[in-house]
Amino acid sequence: MQFSNVAERREQPPALAVSTVIFSLRDDERTGRKSLWLPLVRRTREPFRGQWALPGGPLGPRDSLFDAAANNLRDTTGLIPRYLEQLYAFGDLDRSPTRRVVSVVYWALVREDDPHDTATSVLLDDSNVAWFRADDPEVLGNLAFDHRQIIEYALWRLRNKVEYGSIAHRLLGERFTLAQVREVYEAVLDKELDPANFRRTLRSTPDIEETDEFLAGGKHRPPRLYRYTGSTTHPLESENIS
């Protein structure tokens, strides 16, 4: 769509876009602990050409908001959503220097070993997609649009949500040890937790069930593997496909 002049453009209705903040857990070589990472996409057009931005794009007429966010996820990571929830709608007048855009932002949690959609996996080599530490100030400081504030808000929500419960397992595999869950909490909350008390707290929730399997291979007593037997919160707060 083209506009003949600035005044006319200004009176166009606001455009609607959907972006997605995608979190995953990776080993941090520097600290040795796990930490949160997220993929960004390099912009190939103005405005902010060459800078990193959240995956996203305009809302197609046949996509629900959720579908659009799921497409963001698929196109940048090749993954199917396991956890995908609406974060916030950002609509300030000056978010974009060129035209008025309202962005509905979702946030996702994925695991490294989630099954890839092979049809789109060719995109994963794309040099215009890269993963960064979610709290790297160098990266956050140079993002396009207001994406820095969006990511910081997503991190805030994640931290609040993880305390509230039942989020951590989304970043893990089907079966997991309680120590792995603790590592997730420690990465997200950025503090150490007492293994004994953490274990007891987790065991007291009905959502986590023990299996008969153990994880061998460490140089210590093999830990038992557990499984998540999910419960739902409010329907809108968990449109996720499990």
Interface with DNA by CB under 7 A: which range of 31-39, 90-98, 111-119, 215-223? 215-223
211 scored as a contact of DNA (CB under 7 A) = no
Which residue in the set 43, 157, 175, 224 belongs to the binding site for DNA (CB under 7 A)? 224
Binding at 33: pick from its own copies, DNA, none (beta carbon under 5-8 Å per type): none
Which residue in the set 2, 5, 6, 11 belongs to the binding site for its own copies (CB under 8 A)? 11
Which residue in the set 47, 50, 58, 230 belongs to the binding site for its own copies (CB under 8 A)? 58
Q: How far apart are CA 36 and CA 185, in angstroms?
A: 11
DSSP letters along 167-231, please?
-GGGGS-SEE-HHHHHHHHHHHHTS---HHHHHHHHHHSTTEEEEEEE---SSSPPPEEEEE---
DSSP 114: S
Helix (H, G, I), strand (E, B) or coil at 124: helix
140 scored as a contact of its own copies (CB under 8 A) = no
DSSP 78: -
13 scored as a contact of its own copies (CB under 8 A) = yes
Strands 15-27 and 34-42: antiparallel
123 forms beta bridges with none
How many chain residues interact with its own copies (CB under 8 A)? Answer: 27
Interaction pattern, residues 222-241, with its own copies; x per rule: CB under 8 A:
------------x-x-----
Binding at 102: pick from its own copies, DNA, none (beta carbon under 5-8 Å per type): its own copies
Strands 15-27 and 101-109: parallel
Q: How far is the CB of 179 from DNA (least distance, A)?
A: 3
31 scored as a contact of DNA (CB under 7 A) = no
* Interactions with its own copies, residue window 65-124 (CB under 8 A): 65-66, 86, 88-89, 91-93, 100, 102, 104
Q: How far apart are CA 192 and CA 68, in angstroms?
A: 37
26 scored as a contact of its own copies (CB under 8 A) = no
**End-to-end Cα, the chain, rounded Å:** 39
Token pair listed for 113: 């070993």
* Interactions with DNA, residue window 170-209 (CB under 7 A): 177-179, 194-197, 199-201, 203-204
For DNA, the binding residues (CB under 7 A) are 177-179, 194-197, 199-201, 203-204, 214, 216-224
